[in-house]
Chain A
Amino acid sequence: QVQLQESGPGLVKPSETLSLTCAVSGSSIIGDYYWGWIRQPPGKGLEWIASTYHSGYTFYNPSLKSRVTTSVDTSKNHFSLKVNSVTAADTAVYYCTRRGDDQRAWFDPWGQGTLVTVSS
């Protein structure tokens, strides 16, 4: 059973960089899947951020692309997200998740989520 677990600071100052890591267990990250991030501002809907293949190929939400960097560490079986120049609008629960190829393009499973608050 594949499990995902997010980790990282729960509080980030405005204009700084948000950094999160997602540990993958029960599966190798070197597989035919995309590893990605989705966020949910308090009381709002879900927003896809980016999805990354183990090779490093990534596709991004165009609205966030200029501030987002993702990476995959196959030796540690985890992947990471960085969002720079954060503002209060980046306050959200951040979920890591897995997505298959075009024929398996759903998100499953999901991590439990981690709340990141942007505040001074």
Chain B
Amino acid sequence: SYELTQPPSVSVSPGQTARITCSGDALPKQYAYWYQQKPGQAPILVMYKDRERPSGIPERFSGSSSGTKVTLTISGVQAEDEADYHCHSADSTGTYIVFGGGTKLTVL
């Protein structure tokens, strides 16, 4: 079965830059999507098609891709950005949808 790999945790101080990675063999062919989830809440979409930001998401959120890895970057991290971040994509056929294991972002 296809898998996406994320680091379990990332920690940064306020104002610094956080980079959360997601790796998968099919990422050169399939777009990745990112969701932010705060405790007790449903996930919300923060990035689509690797690097497109939905309306209402702050400009400090950006996305990039390189080969089998995509990266969600949060510049000038704020305390409110502390959350779990999940990447989502599909296998090479596009029919098997998968999520990464999630990354807990801690703002020190």
| Contact surface of A with B, Cβ cutoff 8 Å | 38, 45-48, 51, 59, 61-63, 95, 102, 105-108, 110-113
Q: Which of B34-57 contact A (CB under 8 A)?
A: 35, 41-45, 48-49, 54
Scan B90-108; emit 1 where CB is below 8 A from any A CB, else 0: 1000111111111000000
**Contacting pair A59 B95 (CB below 8 A):** yes
Closest to A112 in B: B42
B44 and A48 within 8 A (CB): no
List the B residue with the shortest CB-CB distance to A48.
Answer: B97
Measured CB to CB, the closest approach of chain B to A72, in angstroms, equals 18
Q: Which B residues are in CB contact (< 8 Å) with A110? A: 42-44
Residues of B within 8 A of A51 (CB): 97
Contacts of A46 in B (CB 8 A): 35, 43, 86, 88, 99, 102
**Is B66 on the interface with A (CB-CB < 8 A)?**
no
Tell whether, in the assembled complex, residue A61 and residue B97 are in contact, meaning their CB atoms are under 8 Å apart.
yes
Let me know if A108 and B45 touch, CB within 8 A. Answer: yes
Number of A-B contacts (CB under 8 A): 51
Complex Cα distance, B105 from A87, in Å, reads 32
Q: Which one of B41, B42, B88 lies within 8 Å of A106 (CB-CB)?
A: B88
Closest to A49 in B: B97
**A107 and B1: CB pair below 8 A?**
no
Smallest Cβ distance from A111 to chain B, in angstroms? 7
- Interchain CB contact under 8 A, B101 and A45: yes
Known contacts being A105-B33, A106-B33, A108-B54, is A62 close to B44, with CB within 8 Å?
no
Structural contact, B1 and A63, CB atoms closer than 8 A: yes
- Contact at A47–B94, with CB atoms within 8 Å? no
Whether the Cβ atoms of B43 and A106 lie closer than 8 Å is: no
What separation, in Å, do the CA atoms of A63 and B1 have in the docked complex? 9
